[in-house]
Chains A and B, each alone.
Chain A
Amino acid sequence: MENIVIPAINMAVIAPEVILSLFAMALLLINVFVKGESKAYLGYLSIAGIVVTLFSVVSGWGCPAEGFSGTIVQDNFAIFFKVIFLIAAAMSILITDRYLEREGCNQGEIYPLILFATVGMMLMAAGTDLMTIFLGLEVLSVSLYILAGFNRGSLKSNEAGLKYFLLGAFSTGFLLYGMALTYGATGTTKVAKIAAFIAQAGINSSNLMLLAGMLLMATGFAFKVAAAPFHMWTPDVYEGAPTPMTAFMSVGPKAAGFAAFLRVFLVALPALKAEWTWLVWVLAVLTMTIGNITALYQQNIKRMLAYSSIAHAGYVLVGFVAGNAVGTAGILFYMLSYAFMNIGAFAIIILVGKKGEENNNVSDYAGFGYKHPILGIAMCIFLFSLAGIPPAAGFIGKFYLFSGAIQAGYIWLAVIGVLNSAASVYYYLRVMVFMYFKESTEEFGWVKLSPAFILCLLIAVAGVLIPGVLPGVFLDLAQKALFM
């Protein structure tokens, strides 16, 4: 019997994941051993963990490295995404505590779970082996199922968790099947090797097995990023999940999905670009259109933002179709700005809500802008950014995405995209219509700002406005984060 030769372990590559996991485990222990009604300290601790991780992540910028026999990698692409995940996690944690207190499901486990989910996302972004990606995705999913159903006293939350779980597992089946077929066609699960093999063996799109594998993987990722027609879980789950988790889910996992999607398709399957481009084209159009158009009808603001997040996935897919530097950088930038604007918007939604009835109907916002002028302005900034109106980051992001498509020659896609944006304006404006153009009918229950909230909102506003007005540095980073 030979000795097992452990390959070179480059711990630096997985340092962020390790740190974050350790923090999560530590929090679990603390949660068990330290009694107390308020669990806010866990939140702050996890923020500390995230900050530490952030440093660890950022320190890797510009020094690409590979680890664990090529199952994971540290490159700028992954780092950029990891930063997005960490920001999303941190901001969501900032707004979690109060919400849980209000809803009466103040359990400390939520913070480790968020951290685990974040670890999963980071693995998805950094994984260069289908197995790593798959496992990362599962770590993320399993955590998210729980987070969605976290408020177990609430039937809506239960339902959201369960639906998410069933559909997520279902989609996992397809994703796996796709991976299996890809494995069968190429003989490996490592993205780099897949690409190398395809190039070397001269496999092209006539290889149905590879093609089918690609398509099935695409459906799996499409489910994660909520692209039509695999989007249908999104509104229900977003609506039912605890709002801070909705905020988190709408940003982090989506970004993670895109990270993996991009890596697999752009690194492993560039040879099939001609094939998947059209698939993604159709997905993009469907996603944007369905998301936006359905959002028009929504009365529930959480649900509306859920549909809007579908639409945003569509915009991002536009950048994906482009597949060029601009488009891909656009995706990175967009996901970053989307984190700020969407979580910011959800933060406001939490503030407007009350226990039990969350005041999530758009009409509940009547007069909100006058009762709470600063929050109102903040909400406007987020909504305008979501609508893609300058000078908010959302605009620059869309600009970049559509630019990519235009540069690659997909003018019609860009046109459909901008028309969708125009339609989307309507439902974002509707919120403002209620906030400012209508008189308030009743009192707003629970606008009690905690420092955490203020911090979150400040970060969000800054994160929307600074990249909006001075996007240069961010775009530059996004450009540098590309693996091409």
Chain B
Amino acid sequence: MLDNVWLIPLFPLIGFLINGFFGKKIKNETIIGAIGTGAIFCSFIVSCGILMELVGLSPEKRVFEKVMFTWIQAGNFKADMAFLVDPLSAVMIMVVTGVGTLIHLYSIGYMHGEEGFYRFFAYLNLFCMSMLLLVLGANMLVMFIGWEGVGLCSYLLIGYYFEKKSAGDAAKKAFVMNRVGDFGFLIGLFTLFWWFGSNANIWTINFMEIKAASHLLPYGGVVTIATLCFFVGATGKSAQIPLYTWLPDAMEGPTPVSALIHAATMVTAGVYMIGRMSFVFIKAPETMMVVAVVGAATAIFAATIGTAQNDIKRVLAYSTVSQLGFMFLAMGVGAFTAGIFHLMTHAFFKACMFLGSGSVIHAMHHALHHGHLHDDPQDMRNMGGLRKNMPITFITFFVSTLAIAGIFPFSGFFSKDEILWQAFSNPFHGNLNILLWGTGAIAACFTAFYMFRLVFMTFFGECRINSKVKDHLHESPLVITIPLMVLGFLATVGGFIGMPKVMGALPNYFEHWLDPVFELASEYGKTYAHSGAHYSHALEWGLMGGSICIAVVGILIAFTLYVKNTGAPEKFVSTFPALHRAVYNKWYIDELYDFLFVNPCKSFGNLLWKGFDVVIVDGVVNGTAKLVMGFSAALRGLQSGYTHNYAMGMALGVVAILAFYVFR
């Protein structure tokens, strides 16, 4: 089975090709949907087989590389088209194909009747292929194909409703910001490649080879530079400060896209990449610190914005950014397993929530359409009380919300708590630990608050929509609700595979599974870890309880403000208008970027074009021509037609020549 790993990306590719080339002719949505879903489902089956086979091997042997062909070979540089299967990528392919399958299925229902149905499925398949390439890539360059490939698909899917200007803008923004990240990725790659080559004469970009040679890497120095560059790549892809602004805008895409790409898979690529190269990152303490700080900062920053958004998907988007921040926090504190764990659970519950919101929007849209109203179907202020109309959606959404809020025993609790605990107890960042933990904890509180705000605004209270259309709000069809239920279930129980040791009820399967991957990293980490300070179990229990409390506090605030005392938010807004405006407008970061980068680039471009190119360069060229023409006119003037002048010229010529030779 392992040998057939190449099938995994192949199926979606086939699906893409069929739908892409013939989708328009097929027309039948069921067939198109079946092809798309079937393709990814086949991948899922293969992935399961691979996972099984991997489980059957002893932990040290769980690394397998499949070389397809040499892709680029130039000088010392060699990149094979090769796939790497190890526990980490196994987790990822499971997540990608699993969640992917569900979302494909969901899309059949959700995208029903859309004009570009086939196109959508083609893109979705293409995305899955790219994502699978990303996670399976055995070297940085294959990963980079996937890395940019998912960016492309994200571009295509965000711009799916290309007739909307905002969609086009968002798509472009997403791609460009990703590109900024890719720039970092490339430089990081170059640096690493160069360092190994010139210092150790190891010319490679293959992960396993780098891993084998990683003991040669120094701590800090060039590794810091390389890893920071990689991290820039990660911030681009995973929407971290400062490159996060594209993700909320990306909600212009259809909701399944948001679920798959902008929640479950693509945006976690940065986290995965750090995990993949943990043995390099750990050698750069400064980078680790930066990762942790950026992660924590993003977590709280995005959370604050999330509190003031009214668009249901936007809230989820900021929540995603925030949760990704958690993951990076985990990576930054050396808790790679926890980071990946959160990645997985987040995939479950966030996908579930996005799909749930999609279900809501679908219903709202339907209802509004019926009533010929032009209200925004995504605006939560129009919703309310939907739990009665859409029970399945509500339940799945609710459990997912509990999971993200970190309520025991939902999956999010385990992963998030692990992260917070690691942030507190990690041996790397000295005094920063408390700050990291504190930030994470507050962010968790905010998370609980705004998520429940969302739930309360959407599903509780009275329906604020026009009563005429209220009756048209229906639960979505099965094809939509089945994925919701599966994901809801996973969001509920998914955490048990990674139960903390202190609880001891179950072994931490997840950690054991990933241990071989991060073994080396933790080994390197030890060499510069501060005091092996051991924290008591009691403290761990205490913090665990504390984080639940924090979550509950957040929920309670939300409950108070949006269920009990619904007038309070307005009051709050009127008390602190500036703050609200700032938060509502996302702290004006987009405007800041426009001011700092976009507009200067444009005006500089204009200046260069109309100033430099046209005036100076062409000016010199045309000026030379003009000058010569001027000379021409002047010389022509000598040619007066008068014989005297000609004779004079000759005589003067003679005189000059003679004079030069006679008097020199």
A residues neighboring B (CB under 8 Å): 163, 166-167, 170-171, 174, 208, 211-212, 215-216, 218-219, 222-223, 228-230, 232-233, 235-236, 275, 279, 290, 293-298, 423, 426
User: What B residues does A166 contact at CB under 8 A?
Assistant: 643, 647
CA distance A222 to B662 in the complex (A): 20
Chain B facing A: main interface SS: helix
**What are 17 A-B residue pairs whose CB atoms fall within 8 Å in the complex?**
A163-B643, A163-B646, A170-B647, A174-B654, A211-B662, A212-B661, A215-B658, A219-B653, A219-B657, A222-B653, A230-B650, A230-B653, A232-B638, A232-B650, A290-B635, A295-B632, A297-B633
The answer on a CB contact under 8 Å between A297 and B632 is: yes
Known: A174-B654, A219-B657, A279-B661. 19 other contacts (CB 8 A): A170-B647, A171-B650, A208-B661, A211-B662, A212-B662, A219-B650, A229-B650, A232-B638, A232-B645, A232-B646, A232-B649, A232-B650, A236-B646, A279-B657, A290-B635, A293-B631, A295-B632, A296-B632, A426-B625
The answer on a CB contact under 8 Å between A296 and B646 is: no
Partner of B649, one of A174, A229, A298: A229
Known: A219-B650, A219-B657. A232 touches B628 (CB 8 A): no
The answer on a CB contact under 8 Å between A296 and B662 is: no
Q: What 1/0 mask marks residues of chain B from 622 to 635 whose CB sits below 8 Å from any chain A CB? A: 00010011011101
The answer on a CB contact under 8 Å between B632 and A294 is: yes
The answer on a CB contact under 8 Å between B635 and A294 is: yes
Pairs A-B, 5 closest by C-beta atoms? A229-B653, A232-B646, A297-B632, A296-B632, A294-B635
CA distance A279 to B659 in the complex (A): 12
The answer on a CB contact under 8 Å between A296 and B649 is: no
Interface residues on B, range: 20 to 34
CA distance A161 to B635 in the complex (A): 23
Partner of A235, one of B633, B639, B657: B639
User: What B residues does A174 contact at CB under 8 A?
Assistant: 650, 654
Tell me the minimal C-beta distance from A242 to chain B in angstroms: 19
CA distance A216 to B654 in the complex (A): 7
Known: A211-B661, A212-B661, A275-B661. A294 touches B650 (CB 8 A): no
The residue in chain A whose Cβ has the minimal distance to the Cβ of B645 is A232
CA distance A261 to B152 in the complex (A): 74
The residue in chain B whose Cβ has the minimal distance to the Cβ of A163 is B643
Asked if B213 lies at the interface with its beta carbon under 8 angstroms from chain A, I say no
B residues neighboring A (CB under 8 Å): 625, 628-629, 631-633, 635-636, 638-639, 641, 643, 645-647, 649-650, 652-654, 657-658, 661-662
User: What B residues does A171 contact at CB under 8 A?
Assistant: 650
The answer on a CB contact under 8 Å between B633 and A236 is: no
CA distance A233 to B629 in the complex (A): 22
The answer on a CB contact under 8 Å between A167 and B643 is: yes
User: What A residues does B635 contact at CB under 8 A?
Assistant: 290, 293-294
The residue in chain B whose Cβ has the minimal distance to the Cβ of A218 is B657
The residue in chain B whose Cβ has the minimal distance to the Cβ of A229 is B653
The answer on a CB contact under 8 Å between B629 and A232 is: no
User: What A residues does B643 contact at CB under 8 A?
Assistant: 163, 166-167
CA distance A208 to B662 in the complex (A): 7
Tell me the minimal C-beta distance from A308 to chain B in angstroms: 13
User: What B residues does A163 contact at CB under 8 A?
Assistant: 643, 646
Known: A215-B658, A290-B635, A294-B635. A229 touches B628 (CB 8 A): no
The residue in chain A whose Cβ has the minimal distance to the Cβ of B647 is A170
User: What B residues does A167 contact at CB under 8 A?
Assistant: 643, 646-647, 650
User: What A residues does B653 contact at CB under 8 A?
Assistant: 219, 222, 228-230
CA distance A293 to B631 in the complex (A): 7
The answer on a CB contact under 8 Å between A215 and B657 is: yes
CA distance A228 to B402 in the complex (A): 96
Of the listed residues A211, A216, A232, A426, the one surrounded by the most CB atoms of chain B closer than 10 A to its CB is A232
User: What B residues does A222 contact at CB under 8 A?
Assistant: 653
CA distance A235 to B645 in the complex (A): 14
The residue in chain B whose Cβ has the minimal distance to the Cβ of A426 is B625
User: What A residues does B639 contact at CB under 8 A?
Assistant: 232, 235-236, 294
The answer on a CB contact under 8 Å between B654 and A296 is: no
CA distance A296 to B632 in the complex (A): 6
Of the listed residues B628, B639, B645, B662, the one surrounded by the most CB atoms of chain A closer than 10 A to its CB is B639
CA distance A232 to B165 in the complex (A): 68
The answer on a CB contact under 8 Å between B650 and A223 is: yes
CA distance A215 to B664 in the complex (A): 14
Tell me the minimal C-beta distance from A162 to chain B in angstroms: 8
The answer on a CB contact under 8 Å between B629 and A296 is: yes
The answer on a CB contact under 8 Å between A236 and B641 is: yes
CA distance A208 to B638 in the complex (A): 32
User: What A residues does B629 contact at CB under 8 A?
Assistant: 296-297
User: What A residues does B636 contact at CB under 8 A?
Assistant: 294, 297-298
CA distance A215 to B655 in the complex (A): 10
The residue in chain B whose Cβ has the minimal distance to the Cβ of A170 is B647
Tell me the minimal C-beta distance from A11 to chain B in angstroms: 39
The answer on a CB contact under 8 Å between B652 and A229 is: yes
User: What B residues does A219 contact at CB under 8 A?
Assistant: 650, 653-654, 657
Tell me the minimal C-beta distance from A133 to chain B in angstroms: 19
The residue in chain B whose Cβ has the minimal distance to the Cβ of A235 is B639
User: What B residues does A275 contact at CB under 8 A?
Assistant: 661
User: What B residues does A236 contact at CB under 8 A?
Assistant: 639, 641, 646
Tell me the minimal C-beta distance from B624 to chain A in angstroms: 10
User: What A residues does B628 contact at CB under 8 A?
Assistant: 293, 296, 423
User: What A residues does B641 contact at CB under 8 A?
Assistant: 236
The answer on a CB contact under 8 Å between A233 and B657 is: no
Of the listed residues B629, B632, B641, B645, the one surrounded by the most CB atoms of chain A closer than 10 A to its CB is B632
CA distance A170 to B636 in the complex (A): 23
CA distance A222 to B650 in the complex (A): 10
Tell me the minimal C-beta distance from A293 to chain B in angstroms: 5
Tell me the minimal C-beta distance from B189 to chain A in angstroms: 46
User: What B residues does A298 contact at CB under 8 A?
Assistant: 636
The answer on a CB contact under 8 Å between A233 and B661 is: no
Tell me the minimal C-beta distance from B639 to chain A in angstroms: 6
Of the listed residues B629, B641, B643, the one surrounded by the most CB atoms of chain A closer than 10 A to its CB is B643
User: What B residues does A232 contact at CB under 8 A?
Assistant: 638-639, 645-646, 649-650
The residue in chain B whose Cβ has the minimal distance to the Cβ of A216 is B654
CA distance A274 to B584 in the complex (A): 87
User: What B residues does A423 contact at CB under 8 A?
Assistant: 628
User: What A residues does B647 contact at CB under 8 A?
Assistant: 166-167, 170
The residue in chain B whose Cβ has the minimal distance to the Cβ of A290 is B635
Of the listed residues A167, A171, A208, A297, the one surrounded by the most CB atoms of chain B closer than 10 A to its CB is A297
The residue in chain B whose Cβ has the minimal distance to the Cβ of A275 is B661
The residue in chain A whose Cβ has the minimal distance to the Cβ of B629 is A296
User: What B residues does A218 contact at CB under 8 A?
Assistant: 657
Known: A236-B641, A297-B636. A170 touches B650 (CB 8 A): yes
CA distance A426 to B621 in the complex (A): 14
The answer on a CB contact under 8 Å between A215 and B650 is: no
Tell me the minimal C-beta distance from A417 to chain B in angstroms: 16
CA distance A166 to B645 in the complex (A): 12
User: What A residues does B625 contact at CB under 8 A?
Assistant: 426
The residue in chain B whose Cβ has the minimal distance to the Cβ of A167 is B646
The answer on a CB contact under 8 Å between B661 and A215 is: yes
Of the listed residues B631, B636, B645, the one surrounded by the most CB atoms of chain A closer than 10 A to its CB is B636
Tell me the minimal C-beta distance from A177 to chain B in angstroms: 9
CA distance A337 to B539 in the complex (A): 101
The residue in chain B whose Cβ has the minimal distance to the Cβ of A298 is B636
The residue in chain A whose Cβ has the minimal distance to the Cβ of B653 is A229
Tell me the minimal C-beta distance from A261 to chain B in angstroms: 15
Tell me the minimal C-beta distance from A107 to chain B in angstroms: 26
The answer on a CB contact under 8 Å between B632 and A293 is: yes
The residue in chain A whose Cβ has the minimal distance to the Cβ of B635 is A294
User: What A residues does B662 contact at CB under 8 A?
Assistant: 208, 211-212
Tell me the minimal C-beta distance from A104 to chain B in angstroms: 25
CA distance A295 to B629 in the complex (A): 10
The answer on a CB contact under 8 Å between A233 and B654 is: no
CA distance A235 to B654 in the complex (A): 20
The residue in chain B whose Cβ has the minimal distance to the Cβ of A295 is B632
CA distance A174 to B645 in the complex (A): 17
CA distance A216 to B649 in the complex (A): 15
User: What A residues does B654 contact at CB under 8 A?
Assistant: 174, 215-216, 219
